[in-house]
Structure 1
Amino acid sequence: MNQDYIKADEWSIVEEGFEKDRVKSSESLFSIGNGAMGQRANFEEHYSGATFQGSYIAGVYYPDKTRVGWWKNGYPEYFAKVLNAPNWIGIDVVVNGEQLDLNSCKSVSNFRRELNMQEGWYQRSFEVELQNGVALAIRSTRFLSLDLDELGAIRYEIQVLNQETQVSVQPYLDSGITNEDSNWDDKFWNTTAISSNKNRAYIESHTMKTNFGVCTYMQSKVYLEGKELSEEPSCTTDELSVKNTYTQTVAKGQKLTVVKFAGYTVDRNHKTDALKSAADEVLDKASELGFEALMGQQKASWGKIWEMSDITIEGDAKAQQGIRFNIFQLNQTYLGKDSRLNIGPKGFTGEKYGGSTYWDTEAYCLPFYMATKNQEVAWSLLEYRYHHLDKAIENAEKLGFANGAALYPMVTMNGEECHNEWEITFEEIHRNGAIAFAIYNYHRFTGDYSYVPKMGLEVLIGIARFWHLRVNFSEDKQKYVLLGVTGPNEYENNVNNNWYTNYLAKWCIDYTLEQLEKVKTEYASDFDRIYTKTKLSSEETADWKKVADNMFFPYSEKYEVYLQQDGFLDKELVKVQDLDKSERPVNQKWSWDRILRSPYIKQADVLQGFYFFEDHFTNKDLERHFNFYEPFTVHESSLSPCVHSIQAAKLGRMEQAYTFYLRTSRLDLDDYNKEVEEGLHITSMAGTWMSIVEGFGGMRIAEDLLQFTPQIPNQWDAYSFKINFRDQILTVTVNKQGSTYQLSGDQTISIKVNNDLVKLQPGQSVAV
C-alpha cells in the first residue's frame, strides 16, 4: 500500500492533519532549496519526536573514512559526503514557561503544510493547546531566495487564542549537529567563533579535513500586531550555539511575529576572513528589501523558471502535480550557475548516497537541463567532468591501469572515487560510457561541437584507453570479453559480459575514433595539442579498433534476444507476476545471495542500451527485448520506470507507458519504495520529464532535426511542454485531435512530425 496523504493539487504539495509517524516523510517531501543550499522541512520550534534534521550547503563535504571489514587494494580510503550543516532555522517558543512541542502538547488541530511550487515557498500552520491550557494558532512561512542565494527567510506568526500570555520567542543558530549516515563518530565541524551584535548573530566554523570555512548567520526582528518591538533581545551562547530571546506579554487575539533572515556564507565564494562581513552585506540587502519584497522577488524568479520548464497536463490532477513536483525539485537542486557543482541523487533532501555525483547526471539529468535551460548550463555539467579527468586517470591507476586510461568514479565530490562497495566501485564501470554518451548527446542536441576539441576529446581518449585495457581476449570465443562487471542492474554482481557494458565499450571506442578523425580534419591545432599531450599513436588507436570490431555480445538464438549476461539463462526464469506480493520488494524481503541468483532486474539494463542507442535497432528488436526482460523487472531502482515508460510509448503501449509514468512521477509523493523519509530521488525526477517529452511526445534528434511522434494517454485531455532547441523556443501542445507547434525565436526551423517535414516561422503556430 502506497502512502496517499498528499492532496492532489496542480501547483502545491499539501498535507492536512498532524500524524507523528509521517513527520520524517514530510520533511523530505516539503524540502526547499535554491541551488546553493537546501534543507529538509524540519520544524522551526523544538520537536522531541522522531525527526531527521538536515540542512546542506552545495559543494561543502567531508571525507568520512571508509568502513569495511576486509580492505582490498584499490578501495577508496574515504566516502566523501555532503554534510549536515549548522542549523539556522530554529525558533524556540516558550509560553507561560512551557516549551511549544507538537510531540508533547495536549492537542494539535487544523495542521496544514503547503509547498507552493509555482512561487517557491513553504508554509505550515496549526492550532495547538499546551499542557498549561494556553491555545495558540501558528503560521510559519519559509523560502530560500533564488536572487540572494546565501539567504533564507522565515516569517513565524504566533496568535494567542484564549488568554493573556507571556510569550518568549528564541531565534537561534546551532552548530552542534551530526550526520545520520556517518561511518564513525568523527567530528565533522569545528566551531571557531560565536558572536552577536544587537539582533544579529554568527557562528564561524570549518569542516574537519576539507577545511571549508562557513559563517552561519541570522538576524531577527519581532513585531506585535505588526509593530516592531524596539527593545534588543537578550543573548545567550554556549560552545556550539547562540540564541536571542524576546519576551512579550500578548493579549488574547493578538499576534506576535518573528521575521528571521539567515543562511550561510562560504569560503568557496568569499575570502575566509571576510565571511562575517559578507553575511552582514546579505543581511543589509535583505533588511532593506524586507520579507514581502523578497517574497515578491522569489515569485518572479520562479515565474521565469516555470515559463520555460513547465509541463501542463489537462484532466489529470495527480499526474500534473507529479511532473511539477519533479521539475520543481530539479530546479531547487541545480541551476547551472556554478560548474564546480553537480546533482546528487538526493539533492538537498537527505544524506543517502552522500550527496555526491553519480552517472545519473549524464544519463538522466543532462537532457532536462539542455532542453529547459540554455546550452551553457549543460556545458557546465560536461566541464565538471573535464576538470576531474586527472582524478579519473588516478582512479584507474589505483586499479592497475596505466597509459592515461581514465575510470570516472561511481560516486564523487572532487573526482576521486569514494564509493565503498566492491561490486559497485570496481565493477559498475558502465558509468564511463554514460559520460562519453553525454558528450555525444550534447553535440547532437545543441549543434555545438566546440566542447569536443576544447575538452571532450581528452575525456574520450582516457575512456577509450580504459576499455581497451579492461577487456580480455577469449581464445575460446575468439572475441574480446569483459569479465567481472556489474551492469545498471545491481541485482547481478560480478558477472561476465554484461551486454549493456560490452555494447557501451564498443560504442565509446568507435565514437572516440570518429571524433579523432573529425578534430584532425577540422581543428588541426587542437588535434596536435591533444595528440602531443596524450602521447597518442596510430598503433594504439589501431589496437582500440581491433577491440571494438571484435567485442563479444551474449545472445540467445532460442529467444532471439541479447542476454543480459553470460549466465542469465541458467537462472530459474520465474516472472515477477508469479511472485507472491508478500515477497516484494525483494531488496527488503530477500537475502542478497537469493537476489543474485534470481532473474529479477532492479532497473533497465539491456533496455537501457536500447534507450541510448535506439537508432541501432529496429522496433521489432525493441519489442522482442521489452517482452522478454520487462516481466523480470521489479523496478526497485528509481531510474527504472522512466526508461520503460519511454519504450512502452515507442511500442504504442500507452496504458503501460502511463502506468510507468505515474510511478516515476509520484515515486516520492506516493512513496512507492517505502524510503521517502531518507530523502527524495532527485536524479530520477529528470527521467519523469523524459517520460513525457521523449515518451508521450516522442521527441528525438535525428538527421540534425527535432522530430516528434506525439501520443496522449487516455487519462489526459491535453498536455504541453517547451524545448529550447539551439536558442529557439518551441512549444508543443498535444490533445486528442492532434498536435500544435509554436516557435518563438528569430530563425525559421524545420522539424519532423510523424516523419513529415514541417517548417516553422517565428511567432507561427502550426497544427498537425
Structure 2
Amino acid sequence: MNSLISKDSKWVLTEKGTDPETIRQNETLFALSNGHFGTRGSLEEAERTREYSHSEATLVNAYYDSELIEYGEWAYGYAEKHQTVIPVPNGKKLAIKLDNDLFDLETGKTTVHKRQLDLKKGLLTRSFTWENSQGHKLDISIERFVSYDYPELLAQKVWITPHDDGCDLRIVATLDDLKEMGSISEEESNDPRIKAQKERRFKSERLEDFENQLLHIETNSTGLHMIVGEKNELSDSSVQSCFENGSESWEIDTVKGETITLERTVGYSNIFKGASMKEEKAQKLSTVMNEASAIGFEGLKEKHVDHMEEFWESSDIEIEGDDELQVGLRFNLFHLYQAAGRDGKRNMSAKGLTGEGYEGHYFWDTEMYMLPFFLYTQPKIAKHLLNYRYTILHEARNRAREMAVDKGALFAWRTINGKEASPYYPAGTAQIHINGDIAHAVHSYVKVTGDRRFGMHEGLEILVETARFYAGWGHFDEKRNGAFVLNDVTGPDEYTAIVNNNYYTNLMAKHNFKYAAEMVEAVLEAGDEDGLGVLERIGFDKTELENWKRAADRMFLPYDEEQELTMQDDSFFHKEVWDIENTPKDKFPLLLNYHPLTIYRYQVNKQADTVLAQFLFSDEFSQEQKARDYEYYESVTTHDSSLSRSVFGMMASDLGEMDKAYSYFMDTALMDITDMQSNTKDGVHAANMGGTWMSMVYGFGGMRLLNDTLQFRPRLPKDWTRVTFKVQFRHRLIKVAIGKEDTEYTLLKGEPLVIRHFDEEKHLD
C-alpha cells in the first residue's frame, strides 16, 4: 500500500514526517484549486528551506505571459509566441518566531509532523510540535482550502498553542509579490513538456485607500491585469498589527496553553484588460473579502464542505474489495473537479492548476479524456468547457487560413488564447484530429444532455467550421477509386508523425462530417431561427452538405487484408518494429533519448491510436477485429504518454480480458500517487485522471450511448465485490450498482427511461 494511503480511511491522504523529498513530491498531490485559481501544496515557510519545495506556485487559470518563440530556422505558419501561465503572488507564506528563533523544518526540533488531504471535505491540514533552541515549544496546526462558493478566495487558519509562559512570539503574514526569485522553479530541463521560469513575469504596485491589503499586477507582455488581496484577523484583538514591506506582523507574550488563532483570506480577482479598471476590480475584490471575513473561517469552511458533499453525492464511485484503488480513484476525481474552468472563457490545462508543466496549455485532453466525466456528472461544467472552444473559434478560422484552407477552422493543438503555441508542428499542428475530437465532444454533449439550443447555435457553428476544414484539407483520390483521403497528418500517437491517412484522424473526420450534416439538417427541418441565422452568417451553402455526406461515405480507412489488421496509417506496417523489450529502461520515454526521425522510422507507439478509434466507435468493429488489433498494437506501444493506459484498459474490458483491464486500471488510478511517469512534480496528469473515470464507467461498467439509448455491459475484476456509480442523462440521475452476480439500475431523479443491460431492455421508473 502506498505510504500516503492509510488503511483507516478511504478519503484521506496522509503524509508523516519531515523527509524533504516526500514533501517536495506531495506539493503537487496536495494542491488545491477551483477552476479559477490553484495553489500548490507547499509548506508555508518553503521559501526558506528550498530543498522542501519544487515550486510554491499559485496559478490563475489563463493568466499568462508571452514571448517570441526562437527558431534556428523559421518557416511560414510556425507558431509565433509562447503562452505561459505564470505564478502570481503567493498568499500562503507565513513566518513564526519564538524568542527570535525563526521556525522552519531545519531549525530547532520538529516532531509529530503530519499533513493530510481530506478528499471528502476538500481540506488540507498540517500539524506539528516545534521546539526552539532554548527548549520552548509550540503546538501548531494549519488548515487551508480554496473556496467554490467564493471562487476568488483562499482561506487559511492557524492555531498556535505555547507550552511556556512569557516567550516572545512573532507571527508574520506575507503577501509575496515574487520580487525574490526563490519561489519560482529554476530547474533546468531539456524536457519539452517543461518551460522553466527564471524571472518574474509581471509588474506590481500596492494600492492605497482600501480597507484590505491589495496588490495590482500586470503581465509584462500580454497586458493582463489582476488584483490580489489579503485580509488577516488575529483572535486576540488587543494585539496591534504592524505593516512593513508588504507584511503584517503581530508581537505576542505567550501564555501557556492559551491558543492564538490567525484567520487569513487571500483573494485573486478575475482577469481583466486595461489598467483603468483596477479601482473597480479592487473594490469588488475588497467587498468579497469583507463578506468572507464577516462569515468567518468556520462559516466559509462549512459552506465549502457542503459544496464538496454535493459534488461527491453525484460524482463518487465506490469500490468494494480494493481500498487502495478506492482512495486513488477518489483522488483523481477530486483533482478533475478542481481543474475545470467554470466561466465559459477558460478550459482545463493538462496539469490542471497543480503545476507549471505544459505551460498551462489546453489540449485535446479536455474533450477526449476529461469532458466525459463532467458530461455525465456535472453537465453544466461540460457546457462551459465547450463554450471556451466557441470563444476561440475566430482564432481557429485564422489558423485554417494560415494553413491555406479557404473555409473552416483549425483549432490550435496547444493554446490558451486560441492561437497555436506549439513550436513543433509534426507533433502539434499536424494533429488535425483535434477538430474531430472537439466535434465529437459537441455531438456527445447534445446527445447526452438534450441541449438542442446549444447544439443549434454554438455547437452548429463549431461542427460546420470543423467539417469545412476537413473538406478543404483532404481530397478525393482517383487512384484510390475516388476515396476521400487526408494526407500529411499526425494521429494521437506522437511517435508516428506526418503520415497519410492516419486511421484515427480519418475516422474522426468521417464522423465530424456526419455530425455536421445531422445538425444542419435538424436546423433546416425545424426551421430554427437561431440556427438558420448562424448558417446565414457564416455563408453556408447547401452544396457543402452533399459534399460532406460524400466525403463521409468515401472516407479512406486503411486496412491490411492479408494480416486482417487495421492499419494505423498508409506506411505503418512498412516500417521495422522497434525492439521495446530490449531497449534499456533508462531510455524511456523515447522522446527524451532519441532523435524524432529515429523514432519515426519504426513501428512504435507512444500511446493508443488505432485502439482509441476502436474504443470510441466500438460498435463499428467486430470483437474479433478489435481483439486482433489490440494484440498487435499493444505489442508496439511504450505507454510513454499518460493518456495511453486507460484506453488499453477499457478495450481490455470490452474484450473480456479482465486481469489485463485491472492491471491497466491500477496503473491509471495510482499514476500520480506513485509518480509512475516520474514527472508528477510538474503537475498532475489530468487526462489520465479523466481516464480513471472512463475506465470505471465505460470500462468496467461497459456504458455506451448507442442509438440514443444508454447501454451497459458490466464486468468486474475478480477481487472486487461491488462497484457503484451515478450518471446524469437528459435531466435524469441513474444509480448503477454492479455486483458479482447481478447489476441494479435505479432512477433517482427524472422521467421514466429505457436502458439496455447487455441485450435486455430495462424500464426505469
| 8 Å CA contact 1:86, 1:176 repeated in 2 | yes
**Match in the other structure for 1:94:** 97
Match of 2:691 in 1: 687
- Mark the CA change 1:685 to 1:754 in structure 2 (over 3 Å): closer, same or farther: same
**Residue in structure 2 matched with residue 765 of structure 1 by the alignment:** none
Q: Which residue of 1 aligns with 2:239?
A: 231
Q: Distance in 2 between matches of 1:195 and 1:715?
A: 62
Aligned residue number for residue 736 of structure 2: 732
User: Which residue pairs with 1:63 in the alignment?
Assistant: 66
Question: How is 1:300-379 mapped onto 2 (pairs within 5 angstroms)?
Answer: 300-334=306-340, 337-374=342-379, 376-379=380-383
Residue equivalent to 1:764: none
Residues of 1 paired with 2:462 and 2:586: CA distance? 47
Q: Matches of 1:527 and 1:216 in 2, distance apart?
A: 42
For the structure 1 residues 128 and 203, does the alpha-carbon distance in structure 2 shift closer, same or farther, using more than 3 Å as the test? same
TM-aligned CA deviation for residue 306 of structure 1: 0.7
Output the amino acid matched with 2:621: F
How big is the shift at 1:598? 3.5
Going from structure 1 to structure 2, the CA distance change for 1:314 and 1:183 (only over 3 Å counts) comes to closer
Secondary structure at 1:390 match in 2? helix
Secondary structure of 2:50's counterpart equals coil
Structure 1 pair 523–664 and aligned structure 2 pair: CA distance change class (3 A)? farther
Structure 1 114/448 Cα, relative in aligned 2: closer, same or farther at 3 Å? same
Q: Which residue of 2 aligns with 1:286?
A: 292
- What is the alpha-carbon distance in structure 2 between the residues aligned to residue 563 and residue 747 of structure 1? 44
Query: Structure 2 counterpart of 1:298, which letter?
Result: H
> Which residue does 2:522 correspond to in 1?
518
Report if aligned partners of 2:457, 2:534 keep a CA contact under 8 Å in 1.
no
Counterpart amino acid of residue 642 in structure 1: S
Structural mapping, 1:739-758, within 5 Å: 739-758=743-762
In 1, the alpha carbon distance for the partners of 2:635 and 2:162 equals: 59
3-state DSSP class of the match of 1:174?
A: coil
Paired letter, 1:731? K
Task: Report the counterpart of residue 484 of structure 1 in structure 2.
Answer: 488
Q: How many angstroms does 1:43 deviate by? A: 1.3
- Secondary structure (helix, strand or coil) at the match of 2:719 reads coil
Q: Which moved more, 1:445-454 or 1:268-277?
A: 268-277
User: Cα distance, 1:715 vs. partner?
Assistant: 1.9
Greater Cα offset, 575-584 or 407-416: 575-584
Q: 1:49 to 1:381 in 2, by over 3 A?
A: closer
1:83 counterpart SS class: strand
The one-letter code matched in structure 1 to 2:217 is: S
Which of 159, 167, 177 is the aligned partner of 1:157?
Answer: 159
Distance 1:487 1:3, change over 3 A: farther
The question of 1:703 aligning with 2:707 is answered: yes
Distance in 2, Cα, partners of 1:183 & 1:121: 29
Q: Does 1:47 align with 2:48?
A: yes
Give distance in 1, aligned partners of 2:101 and 2:207.
27
C-alpha deviation, 1:129, in angstroms:
3.8
Measured after TM superposition, the shift of residue 684 of structure 1 is 2.3
**5+ unaligned residues in a row in structure 2: which ranges?**
186-193
Alignment partner for residue 205 of structure 2, among 183, 189, 192? 192
Change (3 A) 1:681 1:533: same
Distance 2:506 2:627 in 1: 21
Report the counterpart of residue 35 of structure 1 in structure 2.
Answer: 35
SS at match of 2:733: strand
1:747, distance to aligned residue in structure 2 (A): 1.8
Which residue of the partner structure matches residue 450 of structure 2? 447
1:120 to 122, 126, 129: 122
Q: Does 2:671 match 1:667?
A: yes
Cα shift readout 1:702-729 (whole Å, capped 9, x = no counterpart):
2322211111111212110011111111
1:398-438 Cα offsets, whole Å, 9 max, x none, are 22222x32101112222222222221332111101101111
Bigger mean CA offset, 669-678 vs 269-278: 269-278
Partners of 2:99 and 2:506 lie apart in 1 by: 70
Moved more, 186-195 or 84-93: 186-195
* Residues 629, 695 of structure 1: alpha-carbon distance in 2 compared, 3 angstrom cutoff: same
| CA shift digits 1:623-665 (9 cap, x unpaired) | 1111111122221212111111211111111111111111111
Could you tell me how far apart the structure 2 residues matched to 1:122 and 1:658 are? 30
Alignment of 1:14-33 (within 5 A): 14-33=14-33
Q: CA RMSD in A?
A: 2.5
Pairing of 1:537-686 with structure 2 (within 5 A):
537-574=541-578, 576-577=580-581, 579-686=583-690
1:215 maps to: 227
Report the CA distance shift for 1:161/1:567 in structure 2 as closer, same or farther (over 3 A): farther
State the match for 1:719 in structure 2. 723
CA deviation vs aligned residue, 1:269-297 (integer Å, no higher than 9, x gap): 99532233223322322222222222111
| CA distance in structure 1 between the aligned counterparts of 2:604 and 2:156, rounded to whole angstroms | 47
Deviates more, 1:263-272 or 1:746-755: 263-272
Match of 1:413 in 2: 416
AA paired with 2:49? S
1:502 is displaced (CA, Å) by: 1.9
User: Which has the higher mean CA deviation after the structures are superposed, 581-590 or 638-647?
Assistant: 581-590
Q: Distance in 1 between matches of 2:422 and 2:603?
A: 26
Offset from partner CA, 1:45-82 (integer Å, 9 cap, x none): 25322321210123322223323332221122222232
Cα separation, partners in 2 of 1:552 and 1:741, compared to 1, 3 Å: closer
User: By how many angstroms is 1:554 displaced?
Assistant: 2.7
Measured at CA, do residues 266 and 550 of structure 1 come closer, stay the same or move farther in structure 2, by a change above 3 Å?
A: closer
Call closer, same or farther: CA 1:5–1:366 in 2, change over 3 Å.
closer
Letter matched to residue 444 of structure 2? N
Contact 1:575 1:631 survives alignment (8 Å):
no
CA distance in 1, matches of 2:303, 2:2: 35
Q: 1:323 to 1:63 in 2, by over 3 A?
A: same
- Relative to structure 1, the CA distance from residue 524 to residue 160 in structure 2 (aligned partners, 3 Å threshold; closer, same or farther) is closer
The answer to whether 1:464 aligns with 2:499 is no
User: How far off its partner does 1:676 sit?
Assistant: 0.5
Q: Indicate the percent of aligned positions where both proteins have the same amino acid.
A: 31
Change (3 A) 1:282 1:514: closer
CA contact (8 A) 1:65 1:183 kept: no
The more displaced of 356-365 and 646-655 is 356-365
Cα distance, 1:674 vs. partner? Answer: 0.5
Question: What secondary structure does 2:496 align onto?
Answer: coil
- The answer to whether the 8 Å contact 1:87/1:175 transfers is yes
**d(CA) in 2 for partners of 1:703, 1:266:** 42
Query: How many residue pairs align between the two structures?
Result: 747
Are 1:64 and 1:182, in contact at CA under 8 Å, matched by a contact in 2?
no
Q: Give yes or no for contact 2:733–2:750 (8 Å, CA) kept in 1.
A: no
* 1:350/1:680 contact within 8 Å kept: yes
The structure-2 alpha-carbon separation of the partners of 1:344 and 1:366, relative to structure 1 and needing over 3 Å to count, comes to: same
Query: Aligned residue for 1:74?
Result: 77
Alignment of 1:492-531 (within 5 A): 492-523=496-527, 525-526=529-530, 528-531=532-535
Displacement of 1:4: 4.9
Query: Which of 119-128 and 584-593 deviates more?
Result: 584-593
Q: For residues 598 and 177 of structure 2, what CA distance do their matches in structure 1 show? A: 44
Alpha carbons 1:7, 1:15 under 8 Å: kept: no
TM-score (norm. length: structure 1)? 0.92
Q: Structure 1, unaligned stretches of length 5 or more?
A: 762-768
Deviation (angstroms), 1:605: 0.3
Which residue identity does 1:563 align to in structure 2? Answer: M
Residue by residue over 1:250-277, the C-alpha shift from the partner in whole angstroms, topping out at 9 and shown as x without a partner, is 2455443322111212354995322332
CA distance in 2, matches of 1:459, 1:627: 36
